[in-house]
Amino acid sequence: MKQVVHILNKELKDYFISPIAYIVIAIFLLVTGWFFFTTFFLYNQADLRNFFNLLPITFSFVIPAITMRLFSEELGIGSYEILRTLPVTFRDIVIGKFLAGVLLIAAALIPTLSYPVFIAFLGQLDWGPVAGGYLGAVLLGAAFTAVGLFASSLTRNQIIAFIVGAIICFSLTLVDQMLFFFPRSTLGLIGYLGADFHFKNIARGVIDSRDILYFFSIIFIGLYCANLALREKE
Amino acid sequence: MIHVENLTKYYNAFCAVDHISLDIHKGEILGLLGPNGAGKTTTLRMLTGYFMPTSGTIRVKDHTIDENPLEIKKLIGYLPESAPLYHNMLVYDYLDYIARIRGLDRNQKSARIRFLADTCGLNSVMHFPINDLSKGLRQRVGLAHAMMSDPEILVLDEPTSGLDPNQIVEIRDIIRQIGKEKTVILSTHILREAEATCDRVVIINQGKIVADDLTENLKKSAGKERVIHISLLNADRNAVEAQLMTIDGIIGIEPRADADGGKLDIRLTCQPAADMRENIYKAIKKTDWILIEFYQETKDLETVFRELTKEN
């Protein structure tokens, strides 16, 4: 457990010492802020629904950009060999890096807390969906981080890691909007796979154990696959 | 201390390390020699737990690599080839991170980092990003990294590659210093380095151990035949051959006439039993040739190495 903290610290430091964290957070805030506020006043409703509706798509390309370096960079410069010969287990490494990614996403979400505060001055804001939305956002961010981490563990090329990660995240986001491509008998299953669907459930303020379970399954599968991909390299 | 038995590693169908067995004792400086692609790095990577062996066992003290890799990793300090460190970290931050992961507490940590900065000569670069360091300095940071937990076993993969001669001497001194108390395993393809630093040398070729002995013993065993070189002036090739072949014990003569000054270089192969130099000298003395060079090839690791690793 201690080793997880050391690795987490190191990765977070890396993010915030280099410009990566600031660039990613800035882009994230610009994109979400712009799309949210251009239509906000037209709807004339004091809620954050549009902000949360956009999140799965924005996360689909922002998060792979954050996670792409976590393993690919180490594999590329060879420092992975040093990491693996230190007294740490695969689990320490994967969880440490995963948590670093999640904390960076959380850091990117913190400035957006000013939106509900601001909107609460304008009208009657229902805080239930807001709280649910942020919980959903963190869960969604964590799930995509796990997926991105897996993509990063596959290759030493960061660009490939980004593209693979983004493709998986986009598929998870969009799959429930493409149901007409699939045979009728599989619709239930494929609909359940869509991250967007589960996220919107939580963002409505309805905390259902099925949705929570869904995100935790994605996190677990992502991390487990990353673990397998790394073991494969021995 | 370290017991390796039938260690084998396949990369798909390619056999990189082929049934290697080794015992390494405490306080030994062991040199792993071999041509490029012989399996040195793969062997070290398996010892340090980076690669899992395809088959065979590695035991360090009471731990085996498949049951307790973490304990073994705690005992071993490892400097991989060309020191692949985190590029964008400061030297101090990097050493601090390693110290934390190695489980040093706060007081030990600062004392140890200070000590290593002194030993490895890093005091003036502690606040530089590793990226900005020269190859030699980076290698020294790597050495400090490997020594962080004061490990009982130090594994160094080509620790002096890419360094200038002064740095090589410095690093060698450091290694010999450490080797007084600790077990050191280093790989190299520079033979003089192995001769200068190692107590014991293991030569690997095509994944197999072809020699494993104390450095001195290996040198003694070099060469089954004695080779003597002579350079003569004012001599005729055929006459020389005729004259020298009369001496007992000379197996072969390879004369080579040199263009400038009519110098004649001769390489004599003699039987190993006796020293032929006296007889050769007497034979030459009878003629009017002028002897300008006369020496017996000294047997060093290089000879052994070349004999053992020659392709057929």
Higher pLDDT, residue B221 or B116: B116
- Structure confidence at residue B173 (pLDDT): 84
Residues of B in contact with A17 (CB under 8 A): 88
Nearest neighbour of B97 by CB, restricted to A10, A17, A18: A10
Residue B259 contacts A where some CB pair is shorter than 8 Å: no
Q: What is the mean pLDDT of residues B88-98?
A: 91
Higher pLDDT, residue B56 or B196: B56
Among A42-56, B81-95, B233-247, the range scoring the smallest mean pLDDT is B233-247
Alpha-carbon distance of B76 to B8, in angstroms, equals 21
pLDDT at B262 over 50: yes
Residue B102 contacts A where some CB pair is shorter than 8 Å: yes
- Structure confidence at residue B298 (pLDDT): 67
How much is the mean pLDDT over chain B? 84
pLDDT at A137 over 70: yes
Alpha-carbon distance of B30 to B186, in angstroms, equals 6
Nearest neighbour of B101 by CB, restricted to A77, A81, A88: A88
Domains and CATH numbers, chain B: 2-220 (3.40.50.300), 226-309 (3.30.70.260)
B52:A234 CB<8 A = yes
Residue A217 CA, chain-centre distance (Å), reads: 14
Residue A172 sits in which domain range? 2-232
**Which of B50, B55, B76, B82 best tests the A interface by mutation, with the highest count of A CBs <10 A?**
B50
Tokens of B102: 């190695």
- Structure confidence at residue B312 (pLDDT): 46
What DSSP element (H or E) covers A199? Answer: helix A195-203
Alpha-carbon distance of A198 to B290, in angstroms, equals 98
Q: Which residue of A has its CA nearest to B42?
A: A234
Residue A86 contacts B where some CB pair is shorter than 8 Å: yes
| Model confidence band, residue B169 (pLDDT cutoffs 50, 70, 90) | confident
pLDDT at B300 over 70: no
pLDDT at A165 over 80: yes
- pLDDT tens for B142-168 read 989 998 988 889 999 988 877 778 878
Higher pLDDT, residue B215 or B65: B65
Q: What is the mean pLDDT of residues B202-220?
A: 81
| Model confidence band, residue B311 (pLDDT cutoffs 50, 70, 90) | low
**Which of B100, B127, B131, B145 best tests the A interface by mutation, with the highest count of A CBs <10 A?**
B100
B70:A7 CB<8 A = no
Among A20-29, A132-141, A215-224, B284-293, the range scoring the smallest mean pLDDT is B284-293
- pLDDT tens for B3-47 read 888 888 888 888 888 888 888 888 889 988 888 888 888 999 998
Give the total number of structural domains in chain A.
1
pLDDT at A149 over 90: yes
Residue by residue, DSSP assigns chain B as -EEEEEEEEEETTEEEEEEEEEEE-TT-EEEEE-STTSSHHHHHHHHTTSS--SEEEEEETTEETTT-HHHHHHHEEEE-TT----TTSBHHHHHHHHHHHTT--HHHHHHHHHHHHHHTT-GGGTTSBGGGS-HHHHHHHHHHHHHTT--SEEEEESTTTT--HHHHHHHHHHHHHHHTTSEEEEEES-HHHHHHH-SEEEEEETTEEEEEEEHHHHHHT--SSEEEEEEEES--HHHHHHHHHTSTTEEEEEEEE-SGGG-EEEEEEE-SSS--HHHHHHHHHTS--EEEEEEEPPP-HHHHHHHHHS--
A86:B73 CB<8 A = yes
- Structure confidence at residue B203 (pLDDT): 87
Residue A2 contacts B where some CB pair is shorter than 8 Å: yes
Q: Which of residues 60-79 of A touch B (CB under 8 A)?
A: 77-79
pLDDT at B221 over 70: no
- Structure confidence at residue B225 (pLDDT): 66
Q: What is the mean pLDDT of residues A81-92?
A: 91
Nearest neighbour of B88 by CB, restricted to A18, A87, A89: A18
